[in-house]
């Protein structure tokens, strides 16, 4: 049964240098028609799985940038969502946001439409690095937007930070961390830069024009991140996420629990009834496909072995790790049986440990998470 709905809003007023998500410049795009197409896709899925829509717990508006829309467009989008999803049952309704786009009228439209959590893409409090990333906001935008959001009624606010950036120094990272923590928000996410294909940074990297920190410096940045978050009583509940009590991201936990969710919108991905799928990415293709009754372009039936792999490398991202009893109940075999000669060596290397019937990464293991995860890939 699907626990969440992800809705993709692929419009941006500025394309960031590191972003590889499906996105389009806002200007001259059929934004209003796209919103109606999203409503139509919601209708299609509601007809297919009315029982799942009745039990959805979370909604997440991602992008692109949902706040690239006007207040009126946001209101229309949210009204369409409310036609198909009983908002009163939603535990968490998140919208991503850019600090310099989140005006008071947009904030009011969001909160009146049922959104109860904001996830703001701050990335850095260093203006030089913001410019390098292609971001258009400044620190004043962040402070003002957070104050305005609180004024209109938002209490659950998260910000994203990035480290391992081109030419980033430890001093810059520590200053951004301190500024972020001074805001005393209930949730923070912090990600190391990944240079993805089809991005400006990827082009620069291949030309030798992207001076990245050494792996040793990036690891030290991560170590400082964990230390500072712990010092400020922010619980690390996932490799890159930290929260005060009862403020963990419920929607993202669906992914890490390897549970199912609907993916709505151009280029969106979903996981329903054991099938992972992706939608058409180009706007015209997506909207035409919706009119024809199915936005999906790819479907993949997840095999038992693939599901077990995903259960491990997604679940091990959580600080709590993978519940061994739940693994057995889901797959009718233990983790050791499913992955012979994997667990014990990783425990002996100090990368995995057992605690309270969970198998989890050690603190040392968090630094080499991808190496650990790769050990749980089965031969097909």
Query: Quick one: CATH architecture of 320-374?
Result: Orthogonal Bundle (1.10)
* 32 neighbors 287 (Cβ within 8 angstroms): no
Alpha helices in the chain (DSSP H): 31-48, 50-53, 71-84, 104-112, 127-133, 139-152, 170-182, 200-206, 215-231, 250-256, 283-291, 304-315, 324-331, 335-338, 343-348, 363-366, 369-374
| pLDDT single digits (tens) 28-78 | 899 999 999 999 999 999 999 888 888 999 999 999 899 999 999 999 999
Alpha helices in 6-97 (DSSP H): 31-48, 50-53, 71-84
CA pair distance 328, 257, nearest whole angstrom:
14
CA pair distance 231, 233, nearest whole angstrom:
6
* 77 neighbors 110 (Cβ within 8 angstroms): no
Peptide bond into 64 cis (omega under 30): yes
Q: What is the mean pLDDT of each run of 10 residues along the chain (380 residues)?
A: 96 84 84 98 95 92 95 98 94 96 97 98 97 94 98 98 97 98 98 93 92 96 98 98 97 97 98 97 97 98 97 97 97 95 96 95 95 85
* CA dihedral for 119, 120, 123, 126, sign (positive or negative): negative
Give the other-Cβ count within 10 Å of 153's Cβ: 12
Locate the domains of the chain by residue range: 4-256, 320-374
| pLDDT single digits (tens) 159-203 | 999 999 999 999 999 999 999 999 999 999 999 999 999 899 999
Q: In the prediction, which pLDDT does 379 show?
A: 64
What does DSSP say about strands 187-192 and 156-163: parallel, antiparallel, or unpaired?
parallel
* Phi and psi at residue 206, to the nearest 5°: -70, -20
Fold for the domain defined by 4-256: TIM Barrel (3.20.20)
């Amino acid at each position: 049964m699907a626990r969440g709905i992800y809705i993709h809003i692929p419009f941006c007023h500025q394309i960031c240098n590191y972003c590889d998500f499906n996105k389009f410049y806002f200007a001259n795009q059929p934004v209003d028609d796209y919103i109606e197409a999203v409503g139509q896709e919601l209708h299609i899925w509601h007809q297919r799985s009315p029982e799942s829509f009745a039990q959805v717990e979370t909604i997440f508006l991602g992008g692109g940038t949902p706040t690239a829309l006007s207040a009126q467009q946001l209101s229309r989008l949210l009204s369409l969502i409310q036609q198909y999803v009983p908002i009163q049952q939603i535990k968490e309704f998140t919208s991503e946001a850019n600090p310099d786009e989140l005006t008071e009228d947009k904030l009011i439209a969001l909160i009146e439409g049922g959104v109860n959590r904001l996830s703001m893409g701050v990335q850095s409090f260093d203006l030089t690095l913001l410019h390098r990333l292609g971001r258009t906001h400044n620190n004043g935008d962040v402070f003002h937007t957070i104050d305005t959001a609180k004024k209109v009624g938002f209490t659950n606010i998260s910000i994203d930070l990035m480290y391992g950036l081109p030419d980033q120094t430890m001093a810059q990272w520590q200053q951004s961390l301190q500024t972020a923590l001074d805001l005393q928000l209930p949730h923070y996410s912090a990600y190391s830069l990944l240079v993805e294909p089809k991005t400006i940074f990827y082009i620069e990297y291949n030309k030798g024009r992207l001076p990245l920190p050494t792996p040793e410096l990036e690891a030290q940045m991560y170590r400082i991140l964990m230390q500072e978050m712990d010092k400020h009583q922010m619980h690390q509940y996932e490799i890159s996420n930290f929260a005060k009590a009862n403020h963990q991201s419920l929607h993202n936990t669906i992914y890490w629990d390897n549970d199912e969710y609907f993916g709505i919108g151009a280029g969106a991905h979903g996981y329903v009834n054991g099938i992972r799928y992706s939608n058409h990415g180009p706007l015209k293709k997506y909207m035409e496909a919706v009119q024809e009754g199915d936005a999906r372009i790819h479907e993949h039936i997840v095999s038992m072995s693939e599901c077990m792999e995903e259960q491990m490398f997604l679940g091990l991202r959580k600080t709590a790790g993978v519940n061994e009893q739940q693994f057995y109940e889901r797959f009718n075999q233990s983790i050791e049986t499913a992955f012979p000669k994997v667990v014990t060596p990783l425990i002996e290397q100090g990368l995995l440990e057992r605690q309270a019937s969970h198998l989890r990464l050690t603190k040392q293991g968090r630094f080499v998470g991808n190496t650990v995860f790769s050990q749980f890939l089965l031969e097909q």
